[in-house]
Amino acid sequence: MDMLTVNNIWMMLCTALVFIMHLGFTFLEIGLTRQKNTMNILFKNIFIITIGLLLYCFIGFNLMYPGFNENSVGILGFAGFGLSTPLHNGLLDLSYNNGYTFWTDFLFQGMFAATAATIVSGAVAERMKLGPFIIFTIIYVGLVYPIAGSWKWGKGFLDTLKTPFYDFAGSTLVHSVGGWAALIAVWLLGARIGKFKNGQSLAIPGHNIPLATAGVLILWFGWFGFNGGSVLSADPEKTSITLVTTCLAAASGGVFAFLTSSLRYKNYDLTMFLNGILGGLVGITAGADLMMPTDAILIGAFAGVLVVFAVALIDKCKLDDPVGAIPVHLACGIWGTLAVGIFGKLAGFNQFLSQLLGVVIYALFCSITSFLIIYTLKRTVGIRVSEKEELEGLDKAEHGISAYPEFRLND
């Protein structure tokens, strides 16, 4: 079997693994929220992956990777609408990028594209109108994400610095891009009814913790493709070490979140344990191919501790994030990006400065664009359901049906 075939099969397998992550995000979000909003969450997550792929086909891929098409023209190097097979010297280039096809690359990258909006979905759960969320998703996935991605992965200015910004699989380009939008959305949306009382944060338990646990395990499984596929080949050494560092960071993140939350709150909090695993995964994603096992364990450990304190900070700021999306994806995404300059093969002061510059640039771009989109929606069509609709649940208000028509739980 030739290497083109081997690499292409590996990339297609990783594409399938990243696709299954959307099921993991869905299960996690459902499990950590209340029963009366389940149908709404299911609808949002199905919409995100379907519209995300269509938008990425129509505009996103050619905007994010303009250099892969010899006909690229115009602002930001946009290669035009829709997909067209790239030609090299007039001939079909089957191995145009490290030995796998254009079509495989599109599908693999397309699976990443929708993740940013999925992160926002969890943060705004249980009180955001579906219509404005759909509009936000179309703009953010269709334009903001590919423009941001092009600055590094599309060989843009962050990739051409004297010391290039480095983000292997998206601690910043995927997770922080979604995390900044989630932070702005939560701030503009406000907390759920009953979340804060007399200045104190009150727990609003999710209705299905077993489902949330299954979601985290599915996400961990999918991360084999998320990070493993980002090697962009089936190279045995690179893929092996990447999967080892990914798993060790996840395990370390979970254990240290569990220990930290147990010491801080005097109980064994499974949800902190779960988010610690995810924090470790997000943290290692920027440099999974650069680290040795000990580096990965340290990065994951710090991410796990960071999740616990970031959750407390979010509550102290009177922000309501039902699933912990901001601590996991934003806080740990920033940490993982900076960790590239501290640990591993690229560690050094200049690399750290490049990583910090990237974090600041993406923070400004994503925060400003998110604010403009969501604030405009807030002032025009409104972004929050009424008090009556929120208390009844978004399933009834937005969809007219329950996800569990013959099964009732106390909210």
pLDDT at residue number 74: 47
Average model confidence (pLDDT) across the chain: 92
Please give the helix or strand (H or E) that residue 88 lies within, else none.
Answer: strand 87-88
CA distances from 358 to 116, 117, 165, 341 (A): 17, 21, 6, 12
Kindly report, residue by residue over 350-385, the tens digit of the pLDDT. 999 999 999 999 999 999 999 999 999 999 999 999
What percentage of the chain exceeds 70 in pLDDT?
92
Whether pTM > 0.75 for this model: the answer is yes
pLDDT at residue number 410: 55
Q: How many CA atoms lie within 13 A of 280 on its CB side?
A: 32
In a domain, 344, yes or no: yes
pLDDT score of 71 more than 60: no
pLDDT at residue number 266: 93
pLDDT at residue number 78: 77
Kindly report, residue by residue over 259-283, the tens digit of the pLDDT. 999 999 999 999 999 999 999 999 9
pLDDT bucket at 82, cuts 50 / 70 / 90: confident
pLDDT score of 288 more than 50: yes
User: Cα–Cα distance between 121 and 157 in angstroms, integer?
Assistant: 30
pLDDT at residue number 72: 53
Beta strands in 158-219 (DSSP E): 196-197, 200-201
The encoded tokens of residue 328 equal 């996991």
The closest alpha carbon to 120, from 378, 379, 322, belongs to 322
Phi, psi of 341 (to 5 degrees): -85, -5
pLDDT score of 91 more than 70: no
User: Cα–Cα distance between 137 and 194 in angstroms, integer?
Assistant: 27
pLDDT at residue number 4: 81
DSSP state of 395: I
pLDDT score of 9 more than 50: yes
DSSP state of 59: I
| CA geometry: angle 68, 72, 76, nearest 5 deg | 100
User: Cα–Cα distance between 232 and 99 in angstroms, integer?
Assistant: 8
In a domain, 411, yes or no: no
In a domain, 51, yes or no: yes
Q: Domain count of the chain?
A: 1
Identify the domain containing residue 343 by its residue range.
3-399
pLDDT at residue number 3: 84
User: Cα–Cα distance between 409 and 188 in angstroms, integer?
Assistant: 30
Average pLDDT over residues 189-206: 93
In a domain, 405, yes or no: no
Neighbours of 71 (CB within 10 A): 11
pLDDT at residue number 299: 98
In a domain, 404, yes or no: no
Kindly report, residue by residue over 115-150, the tens digit of the pLDDT. 888 999 999 999 999 999 999 999 999 999 999 999
In a domain, 130, yes or no: yes
pLDDT at residue number 1: 63
pLDDT at residue number 100: 83
CATH number of domain containing 283: 1.10.3430.10
In a domain, 407, yes or no: no
CB 230 within 8 A of CB 112: no
pLDDT score of 92 more than 80: no
pLDDT at residue number 116: 84
In a domain, 406, yes or no: no
User: Cα–Cα distance between 125 and 324 in angstroms, integer?
Assistant: 11
pLDDT score of 67 more than 60: yes
